[in-house]
Amino acid sequence: MSTKGEAFAGLSVALVTPFADGQVDEQRLAEQVEFQVEAGTTCVCPVGTTGESPTLSHEEHERVISVVVEAAAGRIKVMAGTGSNSTDEALRLTRWAASAGADAALVVAPYYNKPNQEGMFAHFKALAEAVEIPICVYNIPGRTAKNIEPETIVRLAELPNITMVKEATGSMDQASHILAETNLTVLSGDDSMTLPLMAVGGRGVISVVGNIVPRDMIALTRAVDDGDLPTAIARHQKLFPLCRDLLSLDTNPIPIKAAMKLLGRDSGELRMPMTPLTAAAEAALRDTLVGYGLL
């Protein structure tokens, strides 16, 4: 299957941003990239929701992208988060990511101000015309308060460097509409929806759980590509409790940072207003990690 952003098919990982005493821990961030390179991950996505981009300063945001691009050193693709509810700000961030060497930009729908569909189209069109790197439209109405309707995405697909959609609406009908009418590369924005989305033509996932079990997510996507449905189902069922907990015990990225702390791969430090898991939720997460075989 050939799609517009096929080079990004498979597993992309939404990286956490490690902190130490309130500052970005650049060494640990580089280690996270190395972990993904060794696993064979297709792409890493810094400064998205999982990377706590809302609480990073613009200088930190740019520095995180630079550290990840430098650590990747061309061995793994980098899709940098550059979205904003201000088109001018998104333009600046996207241009900066392109100049820093990012391979693509992950651009969330404008949030809070809730533009109409023509506003959505104009926003992404302005970005697409300003840069040459591929753009992934990130549609997550649960966070942005407004859906990018499939008809709008079909229009956006006509722009040469709008090549991907991170689909986090939870609607298989919406995904199917996009897949039927465009050649965009549709990537799941929810780990637990990876198998069903790929079953209707999606090409992979931008994953949170991939921070800790990238090889297992890669095995799932490859099983689907190979047409091995029994293996894909078995992988999905094993991964499901972990995927569920990382998005249901608390708001992302609180659970994934707690999991990485338990596994010795992150300090677990968050930025306010994000606060740590409760003791009960952490105990439940630990039980899931033990059940999975990670602890």
Question: From CA 164, how far away is CA 151, in angstroms rounded?
Answer: 15
List phi, psi (to 5°) of 221: -65, -35
Please confirm, yes or no, whether 112 is among the known catalytic residues: no
Q: Which of 138, 146, 257, 292 is catalytic?
A: 138
Collapse the DSSP code of 43 into the 3-class scheme (helix H, G, I; strand E, B; otherwise coil) and give the result: strand
Q: Given the DSSP bridges, would you call strands 77-81 and 10-14 parallel, antiparallel or unpaired?
A: unpaired
Tell me whether residue 257 is one of the annotated catalytic residues: no
* Three-point CA angle 284, 43, 126, nearest 5°: 110
SS3 79: strand
**CA atoms of 211 and 195, how far apart (whole Å):** 18
Neighbour-count burial of 100, counting CB atoms closer than 10 A to its CB (0-12 exposed, 13-18 middle, 19+ buried): middle
**Separation CA 77–CA 103 (nearest Å):** 6
Selected catalytic residue, list 4, 77, 146, 166: 166
- CA separation for the pair 23, 97 (Å, rounded): 21
∠ at Cα 243 (240, 246), nearest 5°? 145
Query: Which sequence positions are flagged as catalytic?
Result: 138, 166
